[in-house]
């Protein structure tokens, strides 16, 4: 009893720290339930994932790079989205850039096209007012949707 009376303040601080730690752990579990549990970041959305080999992306990058108007190509997969970044020459028009972007679907199988969303970022090496343009193809759609605020200027 003497020990408790002598160290009353220390015991209260230790108990409060333990209560705060338990409270913070519960808050973490509410906001970040999958961290530390070993569960997938995407939950079960990727359980029936259609395989997309790295060779397919390398083939896409190599073949699109052969276009004389293309400077560089980078393709990556993130969950169910294939992100393709294409840098084109500065003199290329928006419509011609869109044709290059829409042409990448031929590198995917029909099964892959019905599983993956495709997002194309068309860039130019210099800063231009109507670039970058972004095209998005939902897996259930056949066509790309392009950024609407990028119009072909009358001077091009």
Predicted confidence (pLDDT) per residue in 11-25, tens digit: 899 999 999 999 999
Please compute the mean of the pLDDT values over residues 39-58 and round it to a whole number: 71
Task: Please state the domain extents for the chain.
Answer: 2-31, 54-146
Predicted confidence (pLDDT) per residue in 63-105, tens digit: 887 878 888 888 888 888 889 898 888 888 888 888 888 888 8
Residue 79's pLDDT is what? Answer: 80
Predicted confidence (pLDDT) per residue in 97-151, tens digit: 888 888 888 888 888 888 888 898 888 877 777 778 888 888 888 888 888 755 6
Residue 35's pLDDT is what? Answer: 67
Q: Mean pLDDT check: name the lowest of 46-50, 58-62, 136-140.
A: 46-50
Give the model's confidence band at 156: pLDDT under 50 very low, under 70 low, under 90 confident, else very high: very low
Q: Which CATH class is domain 54-146?
A: alpha beta
* Under 8 Å between Cβ of 93 and 117: no
Instruction: Tell me the CA distances in angstroms from 145 to 57, 90, 99, 133, 149, one per residue in order.
Output: 22, 22, 12, 10, 12
Work out the widest C-alpha separation in the chain, in whole angstroms. Answer: 91
């Amino acid at each position: 009893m003497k020990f408790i009376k002598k160290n009353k303040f220390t015991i209260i601080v230790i108990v409060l720290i333990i209560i705060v730690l338990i409270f913070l752990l519960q808050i973490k579990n509410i906001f970040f339930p999958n961290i530390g549990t070993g569960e997938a970041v995407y939950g079960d959305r990727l359980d029936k994932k259609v395989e997309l080999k790295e060779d397919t992306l390398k083939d896409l990058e190599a073949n699109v790079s052969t276009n004389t108007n293309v400077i560089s190509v980078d393709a990556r997969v993130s969950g169910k989205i294939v992100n393709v970044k294409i840098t084109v020459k500065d003199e290329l028009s928006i419509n011609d850039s869109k044709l290059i972007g829409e042409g990448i679907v031929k590198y995917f199988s029909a099964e892959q096209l019905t599983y993956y969303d495709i997002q194309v970022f068309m860039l130019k090496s210099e800063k231009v007012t109507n670039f970058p343009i972004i095209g998005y193809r939902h897996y259930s759609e056949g066509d790309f949707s392009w950024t609407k605020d990028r119009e072909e200027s009358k001077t091009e």
